[in-house]
Amino acid sequence: MRFALAAGAVALAAAVAGWSWLDPGMPGWSLTETKLIASLSLSTLPPLPPDPSNAVGDDPAAAALGRALFFDTRLSGNGKVACATCHLPDRQFQDGAPLATGMGRTNRRTMPIAGTAYGPWLFWDGRKDSQWSQALGPLESAVEHGADRTQIARIIAANYAMDYEAVFGGLPELSGLPEHASPLGSDAAEAQWAALDEQHRDEINRVFANVGKAIAAFERTIEPRPTRFDAYADALAAGRDTTGLLTAAELEGLRLFIGKGRCTNCHNGPLLTDQHFHNTGVPAVAGLPEDNGRRVAIAQVLADPFNCFGPYSDAGPADCAELRYMDRDGDDLVRAYKSPSLRGVTERAPYMHAGQFATLAAIVRHYNAAPAAPAGQSELTPLEMSEVELAALEAFLATLGEAGAQGIKP
């Protein structure tokens, strides 16, 4: 309803101004614009490439195991938190909260999952370089799952042994090992981990890594769905009649999206993200710790034993180009965060890495004003768009929405 009202306001204001773009014959795209619009269609998304670091990434048996693990609350410190606690299937695998909450409250917003298998970096700051390594982080986070890797290995042995061994081979012998042991966790768990010999640590790490690989195999099946915009872009590219596929206000918003608004600088390609990190002057949230985004994450991803270079990766020497050649330094990394996909954006409020903006209207006004960043240097410059243009841009963003669930249940 909000977007219908916004479109109506645009039409009224434009009529008063005598704008010609309300003419049904609009818009008259140039060849360059037509090609750019076509490139944003989901139909141009190539087949999902394999993840060289995850040999079972496209194994249906691994995906079935990963799906079960994704919804299993036993993989937590209190038996109440699963991946699906924050990644809700009927909400684009996110939770609609400014900050995610598991065992405690985190300092970041839950990101949606659809299409993330195409990206080289995970989390808002890219501190993980694969879906499987990303899946491991929350499991041992005190404010998310609050579990530890030895506990996870024991849960697999007790409840998923047959399914696990069908995909990964035999489980190690876990009898005699402590209930809880991890290099990340409570003081007691860290002390127990330090007391383990190298072989036992490696065996537990391998089971832990395989849990992440199974969850990633499931997550690779979660894809974005076509929208009204895609129907328009495909018809335009094919030279078919586009009448009625988008309203005049939405078309003007599209013109702004690819032009004056400079939105495609970061939100391009069929997933509407460049998969990179940008400082766009997003305000800090009072009460949260200092957050410098990508600048801090570089050291974290390089030190991660579960990265593409690590001993638990299935990648070969010629793989891992993204990690090998990534930008490792520079002031432009300060408070730089990953550009999220805009697919389904209308159903994903609030927005930004800590839910700083409650509405799309607030976001387009932020980009229009281009305020200074709390730290580092914002990439934005003022857009000088009118209220009519801002409303048109918001109306276009509504065409990227995808209502309803992904059809995946526990």
* 108 and 231 co-located in one domain: no
* 191 and 80 co-located in one domain: yes
> Is residue 380 in a domain?
yes
**DSSP one-letter code for 332:** G
Q: Which residues contact 110 (CB under 8 A, 6 or more apart)?
A: 86, 87, 94, 95, 97, 100
Contacts 24+ apart (CB under 8 A), 54-58: 54/130, 54/131, 54/132, 54/213, 54/216, 54/217, 54/314, 55/213, 55/314, 56/167, 56/168, 56/213, 56/214, 56/217, 57/132, 57/213, 57/216, 57/217, 57/220, 58/217, 58/220
**DSSP one-letter code for 179:** S
Residue finishing a domain among 160, 193, 219 = 219
Of 259, 228, 223, nearest to 236 (Cα)? 228
> Is residue 361 in a domain?
yes
* 82 and 147 co-located in one domain: yes
* 203 and 253 co-located in one domain: no
Q: How confident is the model at residue 401 (pLDDT cuts 50, 70, 90)?
A: confident
Give the CATH number of the domain where residue 239 resides.
Answer: 1.10.760.10
Residue 278 lies in domain: 2-39+225-293+334-400
CA separation for the pair 220, 74 (Å, rounded) = 23
CA separation for the pair 379, 375 (Å, rounded) = 12
CA separation for the pair 263, 229 (Å, rounded) = 15
Q: Which residues contact 72 (CB under 8 A, 6 or more apart)?
A: 82, 155, 159
- H-helix or E-strand containing 36? helix 31-39
* 206 and 231 co-located in one domain: no
Residue finishing a domain among 188, 219, 250 = 219
* 65 and 211 co-located in one domain: yes
What are the tens digits of pLDDT across the range 88-131?
A: 999 999 999 999 999 999 999 999 999 999 999 999 999 999 99
CA separation for the pair 228, 189 (Å, rounded) = 51
> Is residue 52 in a domain?
no
Residue finishing a domain among 219, 240, 262 = 219
Two tokens, residue 216 = 């990633």
- Cβ(237)–Cβ(41) under 8 Å? yes
* 161 and 203 co-located in one domain: yes
Q: How many domains does the chain have?
A: 2
164 pLDDT higher than 90 = yes
Cα-atom radius of gyration of the chain, to the nearest Å? 23
> Is residue 183 in a domain?
yes
> Is residue 119 in a domain?
yes
Question: Beta-carbon neighbour count of residue 143 at 10 Å?
Answer: 16
What are the tens digits of pLDDT across the range 188-201?
A: 999 999 999 999 99
> Is residue 132 in a domain?
yes
Q: How confident is the model at residue 276 (pLDDT cuts 50, 70, 90)?
A: very high
pTM of the full structure = 0.92
* 181 and 289 co-located in one domain: no
> Is residue 368 in a domain?
yes
What are the tens digits of pLDDT across the range 22-78?
A: 334 456 999 999 999 999 999 999 999 999 999 999 999 999 999 999 999 999 999
> Is residue 313 in a domain?
no
What are the tens digits of pLDDT across the range 285-306?
A: 999 999 999 999 999 999 999 9
* 146 and 85 co-located in one domain: yes
Q: How confident is the model at residue 350 (pLDDT cuts 50, 70, 90)?
A: very high
- Cβ(346)–Cβ(3) under 8 Å? yes
Two tokens, residue 99 = 């900050």
